Structure formats: structure tokens, C-alpha cells
Chain A
Amino acid sequence: MLEDLFKTVKSRFDTDPEHSKKSKVSIPSDLLFKCPRCGHVMFMEDFVGANKVCSECNYHARLSARERLNITIDKGSFVEYDADMVSANPISFENYEKKIEALQKKTGLKDAVITGECTIKTKPCVIAVMDSRFMMASMGSVVGEKISRAFERAAEKGLPVVIFTASGGARMQEGIVSLMQMAKTSAAVARHSDAGLLYITVLTDPTTGGVTASFASIGDIILAEPKVLVGFAGRRVIEGTIKQRLPDDFQSAEFLLQHGFVDMIVERQNMRRTLSKLLRHHGYVGTSK
């Protein structure tokens, strides 16, 4: 990345291969962050310090589920649900187990969602956070089951649910079984809602396909982070159908707000406070410490 910036300089050195070899400085790949939206380059240290928000265009970059929990919930309050649940291979899809195992090693996750109970500024809630590093947080049996159980437990305990969504959609490798998770999770949302309980969705980058078409779109209150991608169909699929390029803001959080499908766009630095206040508005006052 840094090499791209100094391309002209680098090419000058390249004319002398001996010199070029000696002067090659190894640059750690995590030194810089280049914004995928606007191309702005920041030092990784500054980027991380800003909770991974681009200082130029305000794009809210993807966080791992653990990073998200760290900046959202009260320290030490998290009690994880179903931490050991792992996927089977319902339609015997070739290489599916291998793929899962490799991702488990790489990410330290068992599958694409972490669920559990926590407090946010002392207010209790059930929380689910999806992690796009795990097969683009696609929804298979594990995601479907953990989300459904999260709603069922919240309903039993009279707790609100907060979900940070991110997903490429249903998980193709589980065939029709993954499609049915859309129905299953929506059913669990309905039961929780019928118990008079609050469900807040936070749409993060990217939320698409079967997750948009199920539990992500039926929250009582739907928040979104700035500039994130949210939609049903893939951009390329639509471009292929209409044979023209779509505007850049198509399927952005701002696009959804304009068309009436999002309640509020909330900056990452304000998310914890916003969730806390919304919980409070619904009678969750928490335990004063």
C-alpha cells in the first residue's frame, strides 16, 4: 500500500536492481489502513484509535465481534450463550467442514455470531454480534439457532435484545436448511415481541440477503452505522439486470433512511450512549453501582 503511494520513487530505484534489493524496507502490512470507500490512507494506530472510522469520509469499517463487544458493553458484564455450538454439514457439501475448521482457527470463533447477556451502562440486555470474517457472517444452522435461542431466553427473562447485524445472507453450503433459518429466527422475534419486549437492531457493514430479509428488518427500532451497505439483492446482480452502474450511495444506510427503512443513523462513538438511553426509555434502569 505504501509502495503504491511512492510508485514514482520506487520505479526510479527499480532501474538499478542491485540498489533496489538493498534498499527494500519491509513494511508491516498492518501499518496503514486504506479506506475502501474513499481511498484515504491513515496510520493504523490512528484508525484503531478512532474506533476504525475513516477520518476522511466517516465510513464505519467492520469490527470483529469481540471488538464490538469491547466498545459497546460494560467491562466484565458479558456472559456468553452457546459458546461451543458448531455446525454440522446437513447437505454433505464438499469441503464445508474443512472451510469451517480453517476459519475457526483463523478467527478464534466457532461460527459467525456471538450471543450472550450483558449490561450496557448497567442496563441488562441480551446481545448478539455477527462477525463478517466468518464466511461473511452467512446464516446457517448455528447462526439461526443461536439467534433463536437468544430471543427465547430474552423472552423468558423479560430482557430486551440488541443485535449488531452483518451478513452476506443465507449460507449456501447448508442448502435449504439455511433458508429455513430465516423463518425460524423471525418466529423467535415474533414471540419475543408478543411478550411486549424491546428489540433493537443495529445494521453494520454489510447486512444483505437473507438476514436483511429476516430478523434484521423487524426490530422495534432500527439503527445503522454511517455509510454501511444494507440491502436485499447484491449490487452486481442488480447492475447485471439493469445493465448500468448504480449510484455510489445505493443501498447505503443513508439510502435506507431516506426510503424509510431505518430509524436513525448513529455514529460509532455515540452508539453505547444511544443504546443505553433507548433501553432506559423502555424502562430498563439497571442496577446502580
Chain B
Amino acid sequence: MGITAWERMEIIRHKNRPTIRDYIPLIFKDFYELHGDRLFGDDHAIIGGIASFKEQPVTILAQVKGKNIDENKDSNFAMPHPEGYRKALRLAKQAEKFHRPVICFVDTPGAFCGIAAEERGQGEAIAKNLMEFFRLKTPVITIVLGEGGSGGALALGVCDELAMMENAVYSVISPRGCASILWKDASREKEAANILRITAKDLLDLGVAEEIIEEPAGGAHNNYGQAAENISDYLAGALGRLVDVPVDDLLANRYQKFRKIGEFSE
């Protein structure tokens, strides 16, 4: 340990940090991407589809970061519009119908903030996913690959198990946003990052995450294959723990996982 939250943010912002597009062929077989929310369009910030994981069909939902300006333009820097969340929900329900586990990969600065996003109900789209994922009668596993940005991340984060990549962060507000509210000075984001408790270890301690997936020395960009193997090992274990749990228990446990979070006295 001894690496600060800010240093981890620098690692996940490394230009060669693997994205979901790198991981899919290393972890899954025969991935077929499925498009569109059937209501408005196809958001490129979230991809979804079917693949097999060690012979087991699974549904993958993932936020897509790019590695260069063209890729990032196409995926809107992984900031989804409402139709992205609605596509994710459509494919999650499809997974439920065919008894496939759902595996979500979170990697987003947050849900997109813009006129079109408001017009099409960004708040409603996220809220609906939160509610519907609690009803989903199939296992859901979420892995935060890099950046878990607030409600835009949580919309793929209602799950039976949450795992964090070793250097990933998950936060209610970007350190930059926090600094600008707290000190009216966005440039103090480094300080904010270190007080918000956003690292994998913090989330484990706060009872929000269940597992930390180790990264190769220095960060996942140093060895894609090793990072992918660690994710595969985790997934194999998690699926083993979840696939045979009776649906009623699965849903009750999922409810309890979130129900118990909160600190207060009375």
C-alpha cells in the first residue's frame, strides 16, 4: 500500500490503461455486441452484448473509455446519455429471461451533463436502473475497472458483488468538483482526492465493495494479460458463489447488501 488516492488516479489515467475493449478478448470468447435501447438510439458510451466465460454464456454491460481522441469522441469519453442506461437495462432483462449472469464493467467520469441528456431524462434513466436491477432474477457482478464516477457509475452498480481493480476509484463526486465546492478552487483536486476515501481499500473498509482485484506491478497498463487473468480468476470465483443461489435468496441478499450501508445514531 502507501500509494495515495491521487497517485492511483494518475495510474488509471495512464494513456495505455487497458479499457473494456482490451479486456473482452482476453477474458471472454465469442463476444457479440448488441445495440440500441429500442426507444431512441444507440449510445456508444456503454456497450452490451453476449459472450461466453469458461463455457458459460454471460451478458456484458460496460462503459467504454477510448485510448485516443477519435475513440473518445465516439464513446463520448465514457459519459453515457440516458439511452445508454436504457440499453443496459434492456440487455439486463434479456439476460434475466435467458438465465444468463450479468457482468458490468464500470469506467466512467459520470453520466453526461448536457441539454439532450436532461431532455431525455438522465435522472429517470439512472433511477430506473437502480430500481430494476434490484428486481433482476439473475446474478449481477460489477467490476470497477478505473473510474467510478457517481450516479453514472452506480447505474451499473446495483449488484450481488462489487469488485474494484486495485487502482480503481469510486466516488460520489469528482475530486475536482469537490474541491471547487469546498474551497472554490478546482485546482486543489489532489487534496480532495485524498480526503474523499475513494480507493479500493476505502470501499472495502466502508462495506461498499467485496473484493479487490490485484493489478500487475505499477498498474494494469504494464501487463494486460496478467490483469485480465486476475479478473478472470475473480469472475470464476464470483460466478461459482452466485449461480446456484436460489433466486429469492439472491434478491434478498442484494437488498441487504445495500440496505445496511449508512452510518447514523438514534
Contact = CB atoms under 8 A, between A and B. Distances in A.
Interface stretch (A37-45, A124-132, A213-221, A269-277): A213-221
A176 B259 contact: no
A65 interface: no
Nearest to A194: B135
A216 B264 CA distance: 23
Contacts of A182: 127, 130, 151, 154
Contacts of A232: 111, 113, 117-118, 122-123, 126, 151
A88 B264 contact: yes
Contacts of A231: 118, 123
A94 B155 CA distance: 29
Nearest to B79: A241
B263 A251 contact: no
Contact of A217 (B127, B182, B198, B264): B127
B228 to A, nearest CB: 26
A246 interface: yes
Contacts of B266: 82, 84-86
Contacts of A212: 123-124, 127
Interface stretch (B17-25, B29-37, B169-177, B236-244): B169-177
Interface stretch (A20-28, A113-121, A142-150): A142-150
A176 B134 contact: no
Contacts of A242: 114-115
Given A141-B264, A181-B262, A176 B172 contact: yes
A102 interface: no
B60 interface: no
Contacts of B182: 172
Interface string B125-151: 011101110110000000000000011
Contacts of A166: none
B195 interface: yes
Contacts of B135: 190, 194
Nearest to A222: B124
Contacts of A184: 258-259, 261-262
B189 interface: no
B264 A186 contact: no
Given A238-B115, A242-B115, A183 B258 contact: yes
A215 B127 contact: yes
A91 B197 contact: yes
B259 A90 contact: no
Contacts of B117: 232-233
B213 to A, nearest CB: 18
B134 A190 contact: yes
Q: 4 tightest CB-CB pairs across the interface, nearest first? A: A233-B113, A212-B123, A141-B262, A186-B130
Interface of B: 111, 113-115, 117-124, 126-128, 130-132, 134-135, 150-151, 154-155, 157-158, 170-173, 178, 181-182, 195-198, 202-203, 206, 208, 254-255, 258-259, 261-266
